[in-house]
């Protein structure tokens, strides 16, 4: 548990073709999950792109992103230390399951093989390391994606409707797993979703986009 990480969105305003898309002002503390709800097209993914550093040039943005007190608004995505989970697990198809997890681990990390094994074990996938990720079920792939994210030691996490493609039973299970792990890791997390049950399960504050 890291009780230091802290994400601040300060007076964020996003616009498209001169029309305001959304405004947001929010602080997310360590282990806190802030949910932002809005219908399709309300700008949820755009908001995450702005925070993560890959906003499409079509948008105008103002406001700042602060991570652990540091203004990261001008930094390229790969230097922000922000992890992402999307609807699709987005595992690399040319790497094994273990290869995907190793990709998440910082190169300087010690005990790489043991940490990969422990990560698989932690989500019930012990022994799956050498498998081709495309041979895993959707739920298993989602768990690998979660562990790859955690192994990358992010300082904050963004979640873009990460459960929307899972069937109902699996969705409940993944919500508990993902939110539990993020809280345990002390990561400030921003969830965007159109599903109120996701936001409820996240257990934090819920903001609604107009």
Contact residues for ligand ADP (CB under 6 A)?
16, 38, 40-46, 56, 58
Q: Is 45 in the site for Mg ion (CB under 5 A)?
A: yes
The answer to whether residues 93 and 133 touch, using CB atoms and an 8 Å cutoff, is: yes
Sole window of 9-17, 38-46, 146-154, 182-190 interacting with Mg ion (rule: CB under 5 A): 38-46
Distance CA 173, CA 169 (A): 7
Toward ligand ADP, which CB reaches closer, 45 or 68?
45
Least separation in angstroms between residue 195's CB and ligand ADP is 12
Sole window of 24-32, 43-51, 80-88, 180-188 interacting with Mg ion (rule: CB under 5 A): 43-51
Toward ligand ADP, which CB reaches closer, 19 or 114?
19
Least separation in angstroms between residue 94's CB and Mg ion is 27
Least separation in angstroms between residue 64's CB and ligand ADP is 20
Toward Mg ion, which CB reaches closer, 36 or 151?
36
- In degrees, rounded to 5, the angle at the alpha carbon of residue 109 between the alpha carbons of residues 134 and 71 is 95
Least separation in angstroms between residue 165's CB and ligand ADP is 15
The answer to whether residues 147 and 172 touch, using CB atoms and an 8 Å cutoff, is: no
Q: Which residues bind Mg ion (CB under 5 A)?
A: 44-45
């Amino acid at each position: 548990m890291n009780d230091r990480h802290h994400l601040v969105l300060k007076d964020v305003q996003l616009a498209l073709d001169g029309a305001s898309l959304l405004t947001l002002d929010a602080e997310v503390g360590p282990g806190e999950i802030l949910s932002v709800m809005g219908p399709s097209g309300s700008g949820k993914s755009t908001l995450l792109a702005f925070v993560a550093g890959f906003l499409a040039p079509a948008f105008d943005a103002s406001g700042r992103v602060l991570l652990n007190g540091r203004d990261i608004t001008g930094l390229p995505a790969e230097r922000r230390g922000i992890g992402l989970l999307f609807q699709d697990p987005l595992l690399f198809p040319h790497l094994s399951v273990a290869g995907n997890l190793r990709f998440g681990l910082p190169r300087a990390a010690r005990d790489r093989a043991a940490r990969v094994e422990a990560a698989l074990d932690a989500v019930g996938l012990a022994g799956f390391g050498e498998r081709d990720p495309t041979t895993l079920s959707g739920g298993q792939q989602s768990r690998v994606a979660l562990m790859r994210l955690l192994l990358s030691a992010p300082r904050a996490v963004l979640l873009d409707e990460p459960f929307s493609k899972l069937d109902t039973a699996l969705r409940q299970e993944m919500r508990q797993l993902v939110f539990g792990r993020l809280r345990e890791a002390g990561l400030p997390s921003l969830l965007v979703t159109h599903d109120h049950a996701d936001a409820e399960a996240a257990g934090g504050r819920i903001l609604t986009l107009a």
